Amino acid sequence: MKKHIVCFGDSNTHGYCAMNDGRFDDHGSRYNEEERWTCLLQKALGAEYLVIEEGLSGRTTCFNDPLFEGLSGLDYIYPCLMSHEPVDLLVIMLGTNDTKERFGASAACIGLGLKRLVQKAVSVTDCWRDKKPQILVVTPQNIGDEYEHSAVRTTMGAGCAEKSRGLGEQYKAVAELTGCHYLDANEVISASPNHIDFMHLTAEGHRQLADALTAKIKEII
C-alpha cells in the first residue's frame, strides 16, 4: 500500500486562485492539477505516495464561524483522518482565517487552537499506520499589509496581517511541545502573495512550497 499523506488546510491547500476574483472562466477560481502544491507534491514524491487534498476555503484551526458552517478544523479532523486511514503523515497548514477580526483571537490564541487540533489528531489512534502519529505543522505565508486596501478587508477585518506575522513563533513552539515536525512557509516561499487579496499563494508560491515540502517529507517518511 502507498504511504498516505493527508494535507489538511484552507483555501491555500484547496488551491484558490484570486486572479479571476473567484469566477469560473478560462482559468477558474482554483489552480489546476499542474499548479496546486498538493498535486506538484504528488508528482515529485512519486508512485509510492498518495497525497490527499483536504483543503477547504475558510477553514480555521478550531473556531466556529458565525457566518458559514462547517469550517472548524477541530470538528472535522476525526472523520477526515478515519476516512483516509491508514495515515502515514498529516500536514496541517491553517491559521490565515483564524486572524479574522470576528474571531477576536490573538496569534497566541490561534496557536492554542492549533495545539487543540494537533492533540485531537493524535488521539485518533485507529487512523495512524502502526499507531504512530506523524504530523507536520506548516506556518502559512503571512498576509500582506496591503490587504487593508483590498476588497477582502471588509470581511476579514482589521489587524489580520499583524496577527499572521506572529503565527510562526507560536506554531514552532506548539510543534516542539507536541512532538510535531515543523516548516515555516515564509522561509521557503520567496514569491509574494497575489496582488489582489494579498493572502493567497501565486502559482510560483505553490511551486516553491511543493519543492520545500517534498524535501521535508522525504526526511520524515
Per-residue pLDDT of the chain (221 residues; tens, 9 = 90+): 999 999 999 999 999 998 765 444 445 689 999 999 999 999 999 999 999 999 999 999 999 999 999 999 999 999 999 999 999 999 999 999 999 999 999 999 999 999 999 999 999 999 999 999 999 999 999 999 999 999 999 999 999 999 999 999 999 999 999 999 999 999 999 999 999 999 999 999 999 999 999 999 999 99
Burial class from Cβ neighbours inside 10 Å (0-12, 13-18, 19+) for residue 25 reads exposed
Q: What are the residue ranges spanned by the domains of the chain? A: 3-220
Domain 3-220 CATH assignment equals 3.40.50.1110: yes
| Phi then psi dihedrals of residue 22, to 5 deg | 80, 5
Burial class from Cβ neighbours inside 10 Å (0-12, 13-18, 19+) for residue 14 reads buried
Contact 169, 104 (CB under 8 A): no
Mention every residue, 6+ apart, whose C-beta is less than 8 A from residue 178: 115, 118, 119, 122, 135
Per-residue pLDDT, 29: 86
Q: Pairing mode, if any, of strands 181-184 and 135-139?
A: parallel
| Phi then psi dihedrals of residue 84, to 5 deg | -115, 10
Per-residue pLDDT, 118: 99
Give 43-63 as a DSSP string. Answer: HHH-TTEEEEEEE-TT-BSSP
Per-residue pLDDT, 21: 58
